[in-house]
Amino acid sequence: MASVNPFNLSDSEEEAERPPNETVDTERSPSDGAPGPPLGNPFSPPADAEPPTLLLSSNRTSPSGEGIAVSVAATSAMAGSADTRVSVDVIAAQLLRDQYILTALELHTELLEAGRELPRLRDYFSNPGNFERQSGTPPAKDQALGPGGPLNRAGSISTLDSLDFARYSDDGNRETDERVAVLEFELRKAKETIHALRANLTQAAESEVPSQERKNFKSSPEIQEPRRPLEKRALNFLVNEYLLKNEYKLSAITFSDENDDQDFELWDDVGLNIPKPPDLLQLYRNCGTPLPSPRDTVDVSVGVEFGDLAGNCFPQDPPKKPDLLQQQQAEMVEELEYQISLLNNEKQSLAEQIKKLQSEIQTLKRSVSSPPPATLDLGSQNTSNLSSSATASCTDHHSVPPTDNGQYLDIRGVSDAETVPSSNSTQNPSQPHPQPHNKLRSRPPVQFDQPNRKLSPAFQQALLSFCRMCSDSRLGAEVSRIADSEESVMLMLGRCLPHIVPNVLLAKREELIPLILCTACLHPEPKERDQLLHILFNLIKRPDDEQRQMILTGCVAFARHVGPTRVEAELLPQCWEQINHKYPERRLLVAESCGALAPYLPKEIRSSLVLSMLQQMLTEDKADMVREAVVKSLGIIMGYIDDPDKYSQGFELMLLSLGDPSERVVSAVQQVFIPAFAAWTTELGTLHTALIPSLLARIEKLLMQGEHGLDEHKLHMFLSALQSLIPPLFAVVLQNAPFTSRAKLHGDIPAIEVTRFPRPVSPLQDVATIIGSREMLSALLILYDHQLEHEATTGWDSLLWVVNQLLPQLIEIVSRINVTSSTCVHEFSRFFWRFCRTFGKIFTNTKVKPQFQEILRLSEENVDVSAGNDILTKATVPIYATGVLTCYNQDEDRKLLVGFLEDVMTTLSLSHAPLDSLKASFVELGANPVYHELLLTVLWYGVVHTSALVRCTAARMFELLVKGVNETLVAQRVAPALITLSSDPEISVRISTIPAFGTIMETVTQKELLERVKMQLASFLEDPQYQDQHSLHIEIIRTFGRVGPNAEPRFRDEFVLPHLHKLALANNSQAVESKRIDIATQLFEAYSALSCCFISEEVMVNHFLPGLRCLRADMEQLSPEHEVILSSMIKECEIKVENRGMADAQGSMSIASSLVGEDAKTKFLSKMGQLTTSGAMLANVFQRKK
């Protein structure tokens, strides 16, 4: 089997360029007689392949028989010299050639013992391929056996050192069965080895660099040749060996884990049958020293004379047998004939190359002499035109330095390529091709399909801003302008190559994008263009955000340059291939490309293929960032679709994306997709006739289905979509108004107030962007306000639809939501706030508020639940208060809000109606500190009201307000009001203050205020007038159970638990059974909540456990099922008390025993001194020895 060195795989061109003195011994395979590849090894100095006499002369290009005769004569002359010594390497070569394997092995062993290892023998005996049996039959006698001749044994992965020669002794009398079994095993191992070697050969062949690239690497030494798989495995083995030898064990383990496909224990796992090179240290020491020439190598340490060698290959010993001399000369002639055949083959190939080059020169001359083309057809330009320009540029390189002629298509401005003059063609008359450049500039621009749309330029520009292109950097400028002539291609290459060379091997592969794009644009072959675009999309394994922007910028520049047909035929297939790529970054690139290329595609493709691709990715892709990019690209597609039949598909895509579980996807829907879709429906005239009614119908259906449990997530989804449609709806109202034709932009147009509109979540939701400009919007707003002030709405269909259909339907929906759902109330409040702020103050005062006030008639009849007039108890109240009355914050608006809340509080209190609507209003308004003073004003109105019912309501509202108000307001405004109410003549008012006092104890940290509240609560518990107040006791126990776990521990231990104990003890003697079970039930809830807190042993024994026992006594008679739970609670508390007592006793005993005498103290301190800051080590000090 011929040995193959994968580190020196070379083609015929490299062999032709190798100097003659680097020619190594070329062996022939014993199996087929074909010449094997050279036995070169880049990791060690090459051994002398032949004695100096066997080297050819330097005249390789014209070998002849005369040259051979000269070489033979030189051989005889050297052999006649008595003083010449033969090197050990020559002896080793002769032994291996004559198959004296054991003799060569003995020589190798003796040299190793003498410390003089011979590379030839080392490589031979370390290569297992030299000892594998080639076939089942012995080789023919006329077949030359090289150094790797077969031994009479089966192939196995082992070297000569591990051969069991006893198994192949001459007796031949072993058992047949044993030999058959051994041969079967070795045959199986040989087949596995052959399979592995074939796999490695296939991998090496697939990764082989083409010859043209090899010549490029050789002509540019600074460019490193790509690493082959076998080279990588060999280097990995050497690096791992170096790490292990130098005790870098952790690094070696990590390195081995990162290369888990390689076995670092066995050199043969590297790949083909190659000898193991020296270690890295030896390679480093030899890398800077020139390799010795074979002519200069003389080994004088053998100590023998030249004529004493029995196996000498030179005919200088007269007694030598003549047949041996003839055999050696025959081998030499055979070797020389083989080299002559190689040179003849090389000469023939060179002659063919010369003919080919001469034909190309003639073709170039004919193309140079032909007249230049009148126009530049990028799709049909042939290779000869490109070559002629390159030749002309090279011939004039020294006389006229090339300059930038401005022939570029720049995506930063459509007219750049047509307006920039060519300075080179006007200022330098010696330029070789000025005429074609002038004609190039007159080439008409590429035409794209324009959709039948009426989008404003500002909206279109804002929509395209989501394409994420970058052209403001150096590389972005190169990518965004594509060369439009041969000369500018060369200039661009000159600018880009300096940046490519140092960075292409690192993480800067985006530097290659300009080269790939220009070549893909100008190349005449479709197959080559497809390959280049494939390289572009696969240029970076996992492109980051900046790299994707560069690729997208290049794709857009390519699309603008080549037109829609080539974009469809060449770019879209690349996107389709990557749609299911395993890396999300690559799929993200596809999603972004679909949006970026949308303006440059045929309109049929936009609404069919691209839309289907994005829909598939939206439904199937698992990565949030990919779906987010898909939604943005869908929005861009919606800005260019002009097929009305696609409306239903767009609506379904909107609902599908709104239901996405990812917040970032939903945000992209609101920012990009819905505004773009709304712009399309505006042009179709279906925004207020189809899109908004469809969403309202779904909200109504959701509320009908949610009587037993509303899906708040879906409600939020639909409301967010409806909220995103408010700006385009207002734009429709303005654009369809009777005064639109009278809007004029000339003259002094006042600027729009900054607070006129709510801040848009996206540029696409800015009304000015939708209209076209802020000047036009300002002019329309002036006419809009004037029209509303004069109630001139006749013929204004879009506004009348909003007033007469949209608002009543919204108010009806609001009245059906659950008032106790704070999420629903908050969502609808935000919607109405943005709606009123967008349509303006005049519209809110004249159109919105009257409709709410007509429904919310503040009278006791409107809260008669039995008659069905319960509108004041529904969510209409908080949504009107927080969504409509808070839109504007002037004095009259605040007065209106205060008056509405006061009237609602009074009406609900006097009607004995539920206070949920008022509480929802206070919770929503209390979340904003701006309204705290206003709410305190409303409550103070209730504190001083003449009706006890209103005062009770005010006291309960304080509980909701305390949590959000700062402590200063609590101390100055809330606490005085509560203390005033706590001394109210009506006992019900005093009882109503208890929850608010408890909330203060739970949230406030000021000691003075806490003491005041504590004294007030103590008066409720200890004053004799409250001894029989059953409702007061119930409220206090309920409050203690709610605030106790979160209150200050001192307040809980010294006040809450002792008074609960007293109440439980007093309840044992309660005569009225209904009151007794009410108190017991509230005590059970309070003790259950407080049992989770940490309670000291003293309080546990004196108050908590006795209170539980009193409560158990009540529950034994009133509720046996509660008694079982109380018994288990009491048992757990008793166990805790016992464990604490045992732990304290053991702790005191251990401390007493460990600190007896100064010796124990010294040991303890020394142990502490040895500790670090680790908590685990500190804990180990106090562990008991086992």
Residues 337-378: pLDDT tens digits?
A: 888 878 888 888 888 888 888 877 877 776 665 444 333 333
Each residue's pLDDT tens digit, 330-339: 778 877 888 8
Strand partners, 409: 482
Give yes or no for residue 1089 having a pLDDT over 90.
Answer: no
Return the pLDDT at 831: 94
pLDDT at 1092 > cutoff 60: yes
The predicted model gives 193-212 an average pLDDT of 59
In DSSP terms, which residues pair with 35 in a beta bridge?
28
Half-sphere exposure of 842 (CA within 13 A, CB side): 12
Answer yes or no: is pLDDT of 664 > 80.
yes
Tell me the three state secondary structure of residue 815.
coil
DSSP string across 776-833 = HHHHHHHHHHHHHHTT--TT-HHHHHIIIIIHHHHHHHHTTS-TT-HHHHHHHHHHHH
On whether the CB atoms of residues 571 and 555 are closer than 8 A, the answer is yes
- Highest averaged pLDDT of the listed ranges 192-201, 206-215, 701-710, 1151-1160: 701-710
φ/ψ (deg, to 5) at 913: -90, 160
- Residue 557: in which H helix or E strand, if any? helix 545-562
Residue 60 has pLDDT above 90, yes or no: no
Q: Which residues contact 292 (CB under 8 A, 6 or more apart)?
A: 45
Please say if the pLDDT value at position 581 is more than 80: yes
Tokens (6 digits) for 908: 């609900």
Whether the CB-CB separation of 275 and 247 falls below 8 Å is answered with: no
Find the range with the poorest average confidence among 28-37, 358-367, 730-739, 761-770: 28-37
Per-residue model confidence as pLDDT tens digits over 276-311: 788 888 888 777 554 444 344 444 444 444 444 344
Query: Identity (one letter) of the amino acid at 78?
Result: M
Which pLDDT score is estimated for 273? 58
Report whether pLDDT(710) > 80.
Answer: no
Q: 3-state DSSP call for residue 409?
A: strand
**Residue 861 pLDDT grade (very low, low, confident, very high; cuts 50, 70, 90):** low
Q: What is the DSSP letter of 740?
A: G
SS3 letters across 692-706: HHHHHHHHHHHHHHC
Strand, helix or coil for residue 1: coil
User: Are residues 662 and 700 in contact, defined by beta-carbon separation less than 8 angstroms?
Assistant: no
In percent, how much of the chain has pLDDT > 90?
A: 21
Rounded mean pLDDT, 112-117: 84
How far apart (Å, rounded) are the C-alpha atoms in residues 970 and 304?
A: 113
What residues contact residue 750 under an 8 Å CB cut-off, 6+ apart? 778, 782
Amino acid at 80: G
Alpha-helical regions (H) of 370-382: none
In whole angstroms, what is the distance from residue 294 CA to residue 46 CA?
A: 9
* C-alpha torsion angle, residues 637, 642, 644, 650 (rounded to 10): 10
Q: What is the pLDDT of residue 1?
A: 41
Lowest mean per-residue pLDDT among 153-157, 376-380, 602-606, 955-959: 376-380
3-state helix, strand, coil split of the chain in percent (to 5) is: 65, 0, 30
Amino acid at 1027: Q
* Residue 396 identity: D
CB distance 599 to 638 below 8 Å: no
- pLDDT tens figures, 470-497: 767 767 777 777 766 675 675 566 566 4
Kindly state the tokens that stand for 62: 């014209």
Mean pLDDT, residues 104-110 taken together = 89
Of the ranges 494-508, 717-731, 1030-1044, which one carries the lowest mean pLDDT score? 494-508
Average pLDDT over residues 584-603: 92
CA distance 730 to 767: 8
DSSP letter (8 states) at residue 406: -
What burial letters (b/e) apply to 1072-1098, b meaning 16+ CB within 10 Å? eeebbbbbbbbbbebbebbeebebeee
CA distance 770 to 729: 10
Confidence band, pLDDT 50/70/90 cuts, at residue 1086:
confident
pLDDT (0 to 100) of residue 454: 83
Locate all alpha helices (DSSP H) within 610-662, ordered by sequence. Answer: 611-620, 624-638, 647-658
Residue 613: closest CA among 651, 576, 649: 576
Q: What gap in Å lies between CA 666 and CA 184, rounded to an integer? A: 67
Integer angstrom CA distances of residue 1111 from 717, 1020, 1084 = 49, 22, 7
Judged by average pLDDT, the poorest of 135-139, 236-240, 531-535 is 135-139
Q: What is the mean pLDDT of the chain?
A: 74
* Predicted pLDDT at 224: 58
Backbone phi, then psi, for 1008, in 5-degree steps? -60, -45
d(CA 943, CA 934): 14
CA distance 271 to 197: 7
> Is the pLDDT reported for residue 205 higher than 80?
no
The reported pLDDT for the residue numbered 1154 is 43
pLDDT band at 858 (very low <50, low <70, confident <90, very high): low
| 1110 band by pLDDT with thresholds 50, 70 and 90 | confident
pLDDT of residue 98 exceeding 80, the answer is yes
Confidence check: pLDDT of 1012 > 80: yes
State the pLDDT at residue 1069: 82
CA-CA distance, 1096 to 1099, in Å (whole number)?
5
d(CA 983, CA 1001): 19
